[in-house]
Amino acid sequence: MIIQEKYKLSNGVEIPKLGLGTWFIPDDRAAQVVRDAVKLGYRHIDTAQAYGNERGVGEGVKSCGIKAQ
């Protein structure tokens, strides 16, 4: 399944091929969207300051139940 496939970067680090894009997700909904995506198996969250939802994305990452590696 693609959600488990990874790319190997030139420095040897592997990242998931499929990521959750957070552009256009309002800040007040982003935390729940991130938590739901993690429950579905997502481990790559694409975000940027320009999206204006850093607070919500950060809250979702912190509260999703997955410990940082």
What confidence tens digit (pLDDT) does each residue in 15-52 have?
999 999 999 999 999 999 999 999 999 999 999 999 99
Residue with the bigger pLDDT between 68 and 63: it is 63
pTM over 0.85: yes
Residues 6+ apart with CB under 8 A from 27: 52, 53, 54, 55, 56
Q: d(Cα 16, Cα 66) in Å, to the nearest integer?
A: 15
pLDDT at 6: 97
Q: 30, 51, 53, 60: which is the annotated catalytic residue? A: 51
pLDDT at 68: 77
Catalytic site residue 51? yes
pLDDT at 4: 92
Q: What is the tens place of the pLDDT at every residue in 3-13?
A: 899 999 999 99
